[in-house]
Amino acid sequence: MISRREMLQLGLAGSAALTGLGFSNLPRAFAQQALTQDQLLQFEDFGNLTLIHLTDCHAHLRPVWFREPDTNIGVGDAKGRAPHVVGEAFQKMFGITPGSPEAYALTWPDFADLARTYGRMGGFDRIATVVKAIRAARPASILLDGGDTWHGSYTSLKTRGEDMVRVMNLLGAQAMTAHWEFTFGTERVQELMEMMDQPLLGANIFDAEWDEPAFEPSKIFETGGLRVGVVGQAFPYTPIANPGWMFPEYSFGIREERMQQVVDELRAEGVDLVVCLSHNGFDVDHQMASRVKGIDVILSGHTHDAIPEPVVVGDTIIIASGSHGKFVSRVDLDVRDGKMMGFRHKLIPIFSDVIQPDPDMASLIEEIRAPYKTDLEEVIGKTEGLLYRRGNFNGSWDDLICDALLSERDAEIALSPGVRWGASVLPGDITREDIHSVTSMTYGQVYRSEMSGEMLKTIMEDVADNIFNADPYYQQGGDMVRVGGLGYSIDPYAGMGSRISGMTLLKDGSPVDPARNYVVAGWASVNEGTEGPQIWDLVENHIRAQGTVSPAPNNSITVTGD
Amino acid sequence: MKIDRRDVLVSGASAAALGILPWAALAQDAEPAKTLDELIAEFTGGVEATEGEGITLDAPEIAENGNTVPISVEAEGASEILVLAPGNPVLPVATFKFGELAGKRAASTRIRLAQTQDVTAVAKLADGKFVRTAANVKVTIGGCGG
């Protein structure tokens, strides 16, 4: 059994010592001097096995700014529970001092100011340094990649995911699972799997025709005298949230009984520990932990949550390791007699100005970027305010993208997908790389079509139910579809079909008429044969035409209910 | 004898075809559509079917394609299993009949769902009792996950 006593060394980087120093008002150089690599890596070894987890990097090879959400509503049992706590409430829940490095890494308040103090986070050359240090201290360790690794950047799009396979091979990842990987299409996934040094595990990926397992479900790792079973769980709704026609051979789904079956088989094999490498999303993992018996650790991905403590459900611990390379989780375990007796965990923040880059990884990244360097670094325009995306409703990046859709395609209403990936941009230059960070994908065509008011309402209700359904097994993750030219009210706690009200056409303030057709521009359609310019070109043209953009607060969405 | 998943699938599919035909004929007669309760009462002869225990209905939480949704039903010792889609224009989907020598009282098939609904299965057991269960399957537009 796990005792609360074993949950030592929680939180970030020896948080008590750091927050006590009161970084918030110090100049950046001093803050960096006070924050050291040794502090970030400081960890009192525990037990006999270490899991190293990273997930949802979305191909961001270099350090990024990434503002965490200001709105992350939890429904049903998840209400008020991490990760559905943001900002000051999050700081309070985990004992984080406002303005501290942890506050910058994990919450949104004062983001732009703190970003200037503490610098960018992530970068695979820094991650490599951290992984090497952990492995040196803990020979019995397993490095696991939760997926959404091959997608999300200019270089990953140009190399069709190959850059990330090379990086993960050099890093020494030992298994991965997947979601956006499949948007490169079945053939490319199979090509890249040939190049991978590690298996792509997916117990819930089935052959669509015969309804039989199509991928390796699990792998047993032997290390430090232990046998560790790792089960992969790919994103259950990949063919629904993304274009299923790109990988029609495969069927996904939560398949809870299948997970139980694979766990039981591993237990029957006599493994000492069962780990689920999951791309379910946090709330789905929480529910699965309460229903599937025999999983010791769930390494959770998909919903991009960074939680500084393990979440304990029965005898299972769930680890949420954030996104975009901002964090690496180290989980030390005491495994004896086929049981997990205790754990010690640290969500290691990758402060890129503090952690030394690993030279081998740094040169691989440079090699990958070299052919595209001029294109990546070209400055397209300037922004006067912070551009960010993450949050349940429109962020300033999305507002800018919606403005681009409206003006470049002469539309009344714009729709932009509520994805959770994409880095933030501080006031200053916007480069082509920044635009690709929030738009890169294999189906980025911008459509222009007519939709009735009734159809628009149906779409918004449908998306809202996929996010705010009270049963996590019906949630697909992601955030609400972003809209331009349209205002609305939403009650996330209401039922399917009755969450959205007060839809208003912003250009004239008229209520949206169910019977009238509206000209709508949008991107990332899951339908085959969508035609139009690529979203990144359209956004680039728009920013170029503006020269300087000035993000304004979005007051056209009202959130109600409780 | 070992029955593998493919055998079950094939036998299930043929059983489904048999089950559908009489109902299709019924629909053509343009009789008023029967409700879920009426159809179940007809199947059980008015006997109350108990909820849950003894029957499993496996279906995806969200359909990847509403036109072809894989489902499996199983009820130990069942002689017949009725499958209904209460959200479809024609509710009855299939009636699977099992002979005494059937190794496993289970069937798999794919069904078309017009909208989000509680797919319902009712089994007649050897002792003449009836059990029922349901699975909520959501049919969605999709497209915004990330």
pLDDT digits (tens, 9 = 90+) for A91-142: 999 999 999 999 999 999 999 999 999 999 999 999 999 999 999 999 999 9
Alpha helices in B29-108 (DSSP H): 36-44
Question: pLDDT digit string (tens) for A464-516?
Answer: 999 999 999 999 989 999 999 999 999 999 999 999 999 999 999 999 999 99
Who among B9, B65, B146 is closest to A478 (CB)?
B146
Please compute, for residue A101, the number of CA atoms within 13 A of its CA located in the half-sphere on the CB side: 36
Work out the number of other CB atoms within 10 angstroms of the CB of residue A552.
10
Listed as ranges, residues in chain A with pLDDT below 70 are: 1-33
Work out the number of other CB atoms within 10 angstroms of the CB of residue A92.
11
Backbone φ and ψ of B72, nearest 5°: -135, 140
- Model pLDDT, residue A28: 54
* CA distance, residue A69 to nearest chain B CA (Å): 15
**Could you tell me the end-to-end alpha-carbon distance of chain B, in angstroms, rounded to an integer?**
46
Could you give the CA distance from residue A495 to residue A497 in angstroms, rounded to a whole number?
Answer: 6
Handedness of CA A359, A364, A367, A368 (dihedral sign): negative
Q: Which of B120, B122, B127, B109 is nearest to B20 (CA)?
A: B109
Could you give the CA distance from residue B71 to residue B81 in angstroms, rounded to a whole number?
Answer: 13
Say if A129 is an interface residue toward chain B (CB within 8 Å): no
Ramachandran class of A527: left when φ > 0, alpha when ψ lies in -120 to 50, beta otherwise: beta
- Model pLDDT, residue A147: 98
- Model pLDDT, residue A138: 97
- Model pLDDT, residue A542: 98
- Model pLDDT, residue A488: 98
Handedness of CA A310, A311, A313, A318 (dihedral sign): negative
Contact (Cβ atoms closer than 8 angstroms) between residue A55 and residue A147:
yes
* Neighboring chain B residues of A441 at a CB cutoff of 8 Å: none
Residue A79: C-alpha distances to residues A214, A289, A303, A467, A491 (Å) = 36, 18, 16, 13, 14
- Model pLDDT, residue A561: 87
- Residue B145 scores a pLDDT above 60: no
Could you give the CA distance from residue A55 to residue A147 in angstroms, rounded to a whole number?
Answer: 6
The neighbouring-strand residues paired with B137 are B117
Q: Could A253 and B116 be called an inter-chain contact, meaning their C-beta atoms sit closer than 8 Å?
A: no
Say if B67 is an interface residue toward chain A (CB within 8 Å): no
SS3 at position A321: strand
Section B134-139 average pLDDT: 95
Q: What is the DSSP letter of B138?
A: B
Q: Which of A77, A86, A105 is nearest to A391 (CA)?
A: A86
- Model pLDDT, residue A32: 55
User: With pLDDT > 90 as the criterion, what percentage of chain A qualifies?
Assistant: 93
- Model pLDDT, residue A562: 72
Say if A472 is an interface residue toward chain B (CB within 8 Å): no
Longest dimension (CA), chain B: 50
Q: What is the DSSP letter of B113?
A: -
Residue B46: C-alpha distances to residues A347, B81, B130 (Å) = 60, 16, 10
Comparing A3-12, A40-49, B98-107, B122-131, the range with the smallest average pLDDT is: A3-12
Contact (Cβ atoms closer than 8 angstroms) between residue A164 and residue A195:
no
Who among A244, A418, A525 is closest to B64 (CB)?
A244
Say if A392 is an interface residue toward chain B (CB within 8 Å): no
- Model pLDDT, residue A31: 58
Going along chain B from its start, the domains and CATH numbers come out as 5-137 (2.60.40.2470)
Q: Could A463 and B144 be called an inter-chain contact, meaning their C-beta atoms sit closer than 8 Å?
A: yes
- Residue B116 scores a pLDDT above 90: yes
Please compute, for residue A558, the number of CA atoms within 13 A of its CA located in the half-sphere on the CB side: 10
Contact (Cβ atoms closer than 8 angstroms) between residue A476 and residue A544:
no
Longest dimension (CA), chain A: 70
- Model pLDDT, residue A539: 98
Q: Could A419 and B144 be called an inter-chain contact, meaning their C-beta atoms sit closer than 8 Å?
A: yes
The neighbouring-strand residues paired with A275 are A230, A297
Say if B5 is an interface residue toward chain A (CB within 8 Å): yes
Residue in A closest to B71 by C-alpha = A211
A199 Cβ contact list (under 8 Å, min separation 6): A175, A176, A216, A219, A232
Say if B115 is an interface residue toward chain A (CB within 8 Å): no
Contact (Cβ atoms closer than 8 angstroms) between residue A140 and residue A455:
no
Q: Could B145 and A242 be called an inter-chain contact, meaning their C-beta atoms sit closer than 8 Å?
A: yes
Section B51-63 average pLDDT: 93
- Model pLDDT, residue A47: 97
Q: What is the mean pLDDT of chain A?
A: 93
- Model pLDDT, residue B31: 62
The radius of gyration of chain B's CA atoms, rounded to the nearest angstrom, is 15
Residue A406: C-alpha distances to residues A334, A411, A486, A525 (Å) = 56, 5, 11, 17
Q: What is the mean pLDDT of chain B?
A: 82
Q: Tokens at residue A72, please?
A: 């992350």
- Residue B23 scores a pLDDT above 50: no
Could you give the CA distance from residue A89 to residue A83 in angstroms, rounded to a whole number?
Answer: 11
Give the predicted TM-score (pTM) of the model: 0.90
User: With pLDDT > 90 as the criterion, what percentage of chain B qualifies?
Assistant: 68
Contact (Cβ atoms closer than 8 angstroms) between residue A342 and residue A506:
no
- Model pLDDT, residue B6: 43
User: What's the burial of A337, exposed, middle or buried (CB within 10 Å: 0-12/13-18/19+)?
Assistant: exposed
Going along chain A from its start, the domains and CATH numbers come out as 45-63+122-367 (3.60.21.10), 378-559 (3.90.780.10)
Backbone φ and ψ of A282, nearest 5°: -65, -45
Q: Tokens at residue B110, please?
A: 């794919």
Section B1-26 average pLDDT: 40
Say if A481 is an interface residue toward chain B (CB within 8 Å): yes
